[in-house]
Amino acid sequence: MQVNTMVTQLAGGMFVSVQIFLVTLVFSLPFGLVVAFGRMSKNKIIQTVAKAYISVMRGTPLMLQLMVVYFGPYYLFHIRIGNSYRLWAAFIGFVINYSAYFGEIYRSGIQSMPSGQYEAAKLLGYGKGQTFFRIILPQVIKRILPSVTNEIITLVKDTSLAFSISVLEMFAIAKALASSQTSLVPFAAAGIFYYVFNLLMAMIMDSIEKRLSYYE
């Protein structure tokens, strides 16, 4: 009975961890492209704002950022926050953090493309938008996939940091169960989850990379 209860509780935490993971990917990947455009903008103000954003997000701990997002509304504006905001704070904190990293990955991929491709596309009558989304971006995605895969694997493990604002994800529940049962079994179960999840993500990304091999 105790084992069944532990598995049920861990499964609930796993569901929350997967939610944080998916929401972060769905929003940070496209927002990261916006950040990359800002970073490469010829407008000095936009470029400076993007640089500052990336610097802060990459230069401070994710745990600290989560706490600022969670406690900020109350400390700064005296807005009362309830328990329901914890998960939303985790979503927001993870998205703004990973958008900065994905933004730099996109930027490195875009800037690595030969300028001759832009010139050739212009001669063929392509506009700037068409050139980027039809010719450049597919090649960029292929080039940055290894870096994106590393970030995705890190994200799976980083979901455990949501415990810092008392979100009941996998690690938080495993920690509580291990403390109450004075056993390492919940930690072992959580470790297996993170490993299998990461293994699955690595396999998916490897499959995507093979599908895009025609760009080589």
| Residue ranges, the chain, pLDDT below 50 | 1
Residue 151: the pLDDT is: 96
Q: What is the pLDDT of residues 158-180, one digit of tens each?
A: 999 999 998 989 888 998 888 88
Residue 118: the pLDDT is: 80
Residue 34: the pLDDT is: 96
pTM of the complete model: 0.90
Residue 15: the pLDDT is: 92
Planar angle of CA 168, 170, 172, nearest 5 degrees: 50
Buried b (16+ CB within 10 A) or exposed e, 17-49: bbbbbebbbebbbebbbebbbbbeeeeeeeeee
Residue 37: the pLDDT is: 95
Closest CA to 28 of 148, 202, 132, 204: 148
